[in-house]
Amino acid sequence: MTAITASDEIVLEQPCPIRDVLDRIGDQWSLLILEALAPGTRRFNALMRDIGDISKQMLSRTLKQLEQDGFITRTLYPEVPPRVEYTLTPLGRSFLEPMQQLVTWADTHHRTIVAARLRYQAAQA
């Protein structure tokens, strides 16, 4: 990809719908943020604390993308200091269901995966 893109350009659509969606939510942080918003509305710094090791820039950028794609809404209360709340939209909530399946799978098979890593490591030695 050598495409020259303006920093905030929105790529409207990719040929493959699955790629189009997975490219966005299949990154380092999106799923984690959506999961953090599952219990309800959260503020910026609260999300920072929830997730723990995300940088401000990535949280900001990823939230912007999720807003762009209609997963979440951003509400700014013009107070001082400012308050900004992020909430899942109906689309975002609807995504929770397949995601929950994924999380459940992860939880169920976690031990199997760790065991596989051990086996692999042993086989290399």
Partner DNA sequence: TTCCAAGGTCTACATTATAGACCGTGTAAA
Partner DNA sequence: TTTACACGGTCTATAATGTAGACCTTGGAA
CA atoms lying within 13 Å on the CB side of residue 32: 14
Supply φ then ψ for residue 85, to 5 degrees.
-115, 135
Segment contacting DNA by CB under 7 A, of 18-26, 38-46, 95-103, 106-114: 38-46
Give the closest residue to 46 by CA, choosing from 74, 82, 84. Answer: 84
Q: Note whether 51 binds DNA by CB under 7 A.
A: no
Q: Tell the smallest beta-carbon distance from residue 104 to DNA (Å).
A: 25
57 Cβ neighbours under 8 A, 6+ residues apart: none
Q: Which amino acid, 121?
A: Q
Q: Note whether 43 binds DNA by CB under 7 A.
A: yes
Query: Binding string to DNA for residues 63 to 102, with x set by CB under 7 A, is what?
Result: x----------x-x---xxxxxx-----------------
Place of tokens 């918003």: 37
Q: List residues binding its own copies (CB under 8 A).
A: 1, 8, 10, 12-13, 17-23, 26-28, 31-32, 35, 53, 67-70, 91, 94-95, 97-99, 101-107, 109-110, 112-121, 124
